[in-house]
Amino acid sequence: MKKAKTYKLITEITGIILSALLLFPFFLVVINSAKKSADIVISPIALPSDLGQVLENMKNVINNQNFSYWKSFGSSLLITCTALLLLTLFSSMAAWVLVRNRTKWSNVIFMMFVAAMVIPFQVVMLPLLSTFRSFSSFTGISMLSSYKGIIFAYLGFGGSMSVFILHGFIKGIPYELEEAALIDGCSPEGTFFRIIFPLLKPIHMTVIILNGIWIWNDYLLPSLMLGLNGRIKTLPVAVSSFVGSYVKQWDLILTAALLAMIPIVILFVIAQKQIIQGMVEGAIK
């Protein structure tokens, strides 16, 4: 009995120490965002003397030309939300057709989506840029450094995994449900939007979380398509551009990092369970 008790004590202490250690970097970001540059030089681990400094730093960073927090935050939000909305809609539509329409062609298309999950971004990024560039100059629809271009790109890159996940889920929905609606005179598209689409809600959660975290944090694609100092910046690009122009100004850089972290931390606190579940489910599939 005594042994079990010591064992429990040891795990409790390990837990506390470990979580303190692992969260320490976040703590450092917070305390150093509330310091002046000179105070960081003196000691980066001392507690800040004046918490009001954090507002001062934030004001400097938010209005900075390279960072322009609200604008980049808005761009990130717009890109992520639109891409997720379209991705969920279009990949559900595609997956539904691929499941219910068992022909050679649908098999080929599905296999292509599955195989494409192996393709790393690096191997397509350079030709993608040149394809988009020539497409823009030919048709006059600007694809680089525009919202529609980057949203379109996320649709293509997120599509294969989303279809794969949704395909597996839709297979489990009995066809009798649709048959009944079709016999009652419902059109095929009506069947999809009225009957199948609402049933997909739990799996949409997974698709949205997996793609959302990735799109929100993605750096390489927006940095290439939008440019580091372009008109539109996502948050990671803005942070990087800010760091590039304020080398070693750690008080401001850490404040920028803090500002970039806040939205996702808030989201995590609100929807912790769904986020963890969504990301784990996505990995296992």
CA–CA gap between residue 30 and residue 28 (Å, rounded): 5
Residue number, 37 or 63, with CB nearest to another protein = 37
Asked if 239 touches another protein (CB under 8 A), the answer is yes
Residue number, 177 or 220, with CB nearest to another protein = 220
In the region spanning residues 203 to 232, those forming contacts with another protein, defined by CB under 8 A, are 213, 216-220, 224
Asked if 91 touches another protein (CB under 8 A), the answer is yes
Total interface residues for another protein by CB under 8 A: 92
In the region spanning residues 124 to 143, those forming contacts with another protein, defined by CB under 8 A, are 124-131, 133, 135, 138-142
**Helix H or strand E encompassing 228:** none
In the region spanning residues 104 to 123, those forming contacts with another protein, defined by CB under 8 A, are 109, 112-113, 116, 118-120, 122-123
Asked if 161 touches another protein (CB under 8 A), the answer is no
Write out the two tokens for 36.
Answer: 């002046």
Asked if 180 touches another protein (CB under 8 A), the answer is no
Do the Cβ atoms of 222 and 151 come closer than 8 Å?
A: no
CB of 63 to another protein, least distance (A): 20
Write out the two tokens for 37.
Answer: 């540059």
Residues counted in the chain:
285
CA–CA gap between residue 160 and residue 116 (Å, rounded): 7
In the region spanning residues 11 to 70, those forming contacts with another protein, defined by CB under 8 A, are 11-12, 14-15, 18-19, 22-23, 25-26, 28-29, 32, 40, 43-45
In the region spanning residues 258 to 277, those forming contacts with another protein, defined by CB under 8 A, are 260-261, 264-265, 268, 272, 275-276
- The beta-carbon contacts of 190-197 under 8 Å, at least 24 apart in sequence, are 192/93, 192/96, 196/92, 196/96, 196/170, 197/92
CB of 257 to another protein, least distance (A): 5
Asked if 73 touches another protein (CB under 8 A), the answer is no
Write out the two tokens for 171.
Answer: 């297979």
Residue number, 81 or 217, with CB nearest to another protein = 217
Asked if 254 touches another protein (CB under 8 A), the answer is yes
Do the Cβ atoms of 221 and 80 come closer than 8 Å?
A: no
DSSP 150-208: HHHHHHHHHHHHHHHHHHHHHHTS-HHHHHHHHHTT--HHHHIIIIIHHHTHHHHHHHH
Residue number, 12 or 50, with CB nearest to another protein = 12
